Amino acid sequence: MNLIRDWGKNLYPCPEQQVLSPPKTKGEPMKINRWSRVVLELALAGIFLYSGLQKQLHPDEFVKAVMAYKILPSELVGLTAATLPAAEGAAGLLLALGYKKRSCLLLLVLLVCVFLIAMLITMLRGLNIDCGCSLFLSRQVGWVAFMEDSLLLVLAGGLYCQEFFERHG
Amino acid sequence: MTFRVIWQDLTGAGLILALAAIFGLWHHWPSVKASFRGQSALAAYLEEARNQRRETVYKGIPTVSLSQVHELFQRQKALFIDARPTAEYAELHISGAINLPPDHQEKELPNGLAGTPQGQRIVVYCSQVSCEASLKVAQKLRSLGYTQVVVFLDGFRVWDEAGYPVSLD
């Protein structure tokens, strides 16, 4: 028994298609090739898993980053700083393993929406702070960080739709 | 059907989030407890955590106070290095200080430091006590063989507030 091949078959039962196939019914999104979707899901999972791990390894810096936004009361700062990295890491890990993929993608969509709203509020206030969302280098809250996270939102949302219509379309 | 599936996915996402919250609370309970006590308790916790981490990561790097730094400046006994970003250095810096941010990529040291004897007393500073750039640069200089490197942790803000000499060039 080939575990990897069978794992792939169980997770992605759809037959091979062209890179982009036109939708068969109205409202259904264009379908992407199975392996392209696997690569995108693994890339997304890797990004959030790494991000979550980085925040777990430097918890006090993330607490300071959450405080710097000045959105939450101090009572919720610790809870948020404790929960978000674990949620990112858990969603990334489960997505990479292929378990509850739609739930993981939906959670990532919700998390990124929260980040985007927080960044938007901060930019409107004119605060120049570290976004607390960097992977390798520190980034300030601004349109660059906003656009990067927007791309992640589009990716996670698009993959969720693909998974949704594949199973229930 | 569609809403039922989305509801199931949301429930799964909520479960992952709840489990992540439990893990996060258990792993970061000290910071969560401090945040429930209020902003001052959280700030005190973060400062203690920062000091402990610095003692471990930047072990052996001596620090100097404002009065000690001013004395070295007046006696012209030390070379001053500004570890802030170049833009901040260009705005204002301690008179005679050389700019050397931690992410300095060029192989050659900046003018004023190249050719400096390794026994030369060097004072490194950045913006304020929460900034770690000065510690990173001091560590880098020690790795290059400079033996008399000290860090002015209070930073440029305290120097400027004390009214000591600053310049633009």
Q: Could you say which DSSP state residue A96 is in?
A: H
- Indicate if the pLDDT at residue B158 is higher than 70: yes
> Regarding beta strands A31-32 and A20-21, do their DSSP bridges make them parallel or antiparallel, or are they unpaired?
antiparallel
Contact between residue A86 and residue A56 where contact means Cβ atoms under 8 Å apart: yes
Residue percentage of chain B with pLDDT more than 90: 62
Q: How confident is the model at residue B118 (pLDDT cuts 50, 70, 90)?
A: confident
Q: How confident is the model at residue B51 (pLDDT cuts 50, 70, 90)?
A: confident
Instruction: Give residue-wise pLDDT tens across range B125-141.
Output: 999 988 889 999 999 99
**What pLDDT does A1 receive?**
41
- Indicate if the pLDDT at residue B113 is higher than 80: no
Choose between A97 and B112: higher pLDDT.
Answer: A97
Contacting residues of B for A102, CB less than 8 Å apart: 9, 12
Instruction: Give residue-wise pLDDT tens across range A7-36.
Output: 444 454 444 444 455 555 555 555 667 889
Would you report the helix, strand and coil content of chain A in percent, each value rounded to 5?
A: 70, 5, 25
**What pLDDT does B68 receive?**
94
Contact between residue B77 and residue B121 where contact means Cβ atoms under 8 Å apart: yes
**What pLDDT does A27 receive?**
53
Choose between A105 and A128: higher pLDDT.
Answer: A105
Give the mean pLDDT of chain A: 82
Choose between B107 and B142: higher pLDDT.
Answer: B142
Residue percentage of chain A with pLDDT more than 70: 77
Question: Min CA distance, A110 vs chain B (Å)?
Answer: 9
For tokens 């170049």, the residue is B86
**What pLDDT does B3 receive?**
87
Pick from A108-117, B67-76, B92-101, B108-117: least confident: B108-117
Across the interface, do A74 and B24 touch by the CB < 8 Å criterion?
A: no
Give the mean pLDDT of chain B: 90
**What pLDDT does B126 receive?**
94
- Count CB pairs under 8 A between chains A and B: 102
CA separation, residue A91 to residues A53, A83, A118, A143, B19 (Å) = 12, 12, 20, 26, 11
Contact between residue A62 and residue A55 where contact means Cβ atoms under 8 Å apart: yes
Phi and psi torsions of A130, nearest 5°: -70, 140
Contacting residues of B for A164, CB less than 8 Å apart: 5-6, 9
ipTM above 0.95, yes or no: no
Contacting residues of A for B17, CB less than 8 Å apart: 83, 87, 107
Buried b (16+ CB within 10 A) or exposed e, B31-68: bbebbeeeeeebeebbeebbeeebeeebeebebbebee
Please give the structure tokens belonging to residue B26.
């258990």
What residues does B63 pair with on adjacent strands? B151
Rg (CA), chain B: 23
Across the interface, do A74 and B38 touch by the CB < 8 Å criterion?
A: yes
Q: Say which residues have a Cβ less than 8 Å from residue B64's Cβ, sequence separation at least 6.
A: B72, B123, B150, B151, B152
Instruction: Give residue-wise pLDDT tens across range B54-74.
Output: 888 888 899 999 999 999 999
Question: Min CA distance, B1 vs chain A (Å)?
Answer: 9
Instruction: Give residue-wise pLDDT tens across range A52-85.
Output: 998 988 888 889 889 889 899 988 999 999 999 9
Across the interface, do A64 and B20 touch by the CB < 8 Å criterion?
A: no
Across the interface, do B16 and A91 touch by the CB < 8 Å criterion?
A: yes
- Indicate if the pLDDT at residue B91 is higher than 80: yes
Residue A106 identity? L
Please give the structure tokens belonging to residue A75.
């009572």
Across the interface, do B16 and A90 touch by the CB < 8 Å criterion?
A: yes
Phi and psi torsions of B110, nearest 5°: -65, 160
Contact between residue B54 and residue A61 where contact means Cβ atoms under 8 Å apart: no
Q: How confident is the model at residue A101 (pLDDT cuts 50, 70, 90)?
A: very high
CA separation, residue A154 to residues A21, A76, B44, B101, B102 (Å) = 19, 28, 40, 36, 35
Average pLDDT (A29-54) is 86
Count the Cβ atoms, other than its own, within 10 Å of residue A96.
18
**What pLDDT does B84 receive?**
93
- Residues on chain A bordering chain B, Cβ-to-Cβ distance under 8 angstroms: 56, 59-60, 63-64, 67, 74-79, 81-87, 89-91, 94, 100, 102-104, 106-107, 110, 160, 164, 167-168
Across the interface, do A107 and B16 touch by the CB < 8 Å criterion?
A: yes
CA separation, residue A169 to residues A28, B2, B12, B31 (Å) = 7, 9, 20, 45
Q: State pTM to two decimals.
A: 0.72
- Mapped onto helix, strand or coil, the DSSP state of residue B99 is strand
For tokens 């739930």, the residue is A103
Question: Min CA distance, B24 vs chain A (Å)?
Answer: 5
Residue from A100, A129, A137 whose CB has the most chain B CBs within 10 Å, to mutate: A100
The burial class, CB within 10 Å (0-12 / 13-18 / 19+), for A71 is middle
Please give the structure tokens belonging to residue A39.
């690569």
Spatial separation of the C-alpha atoms in residues A155 and A43, rounded to whole Å: 10
Across the interface, do B17 and A168 touch by the CB < 8 Å criterion?
A: no
Q: Say which residues have a Cβ less than 8 Å from residue A11's Cβ, sequence separation at least 6.
A: A98, A101
Choose between B152 and A134: higher pLDDT.
Answer: B152
Q: Which residue of B has its CA nearest to A65?
A: B46
- Indicate if the pLDDT at residue B15 is higher than 80: yes
For tokens 């570290």, the residue is A130
Across the interface, do A86 and B13 touch by the CB < 8 Å criterion?
A: no
Average pLDDT (A130-157) is 82
Count Cα atoms within 13 angstroms, Cβ side, for B54: 21
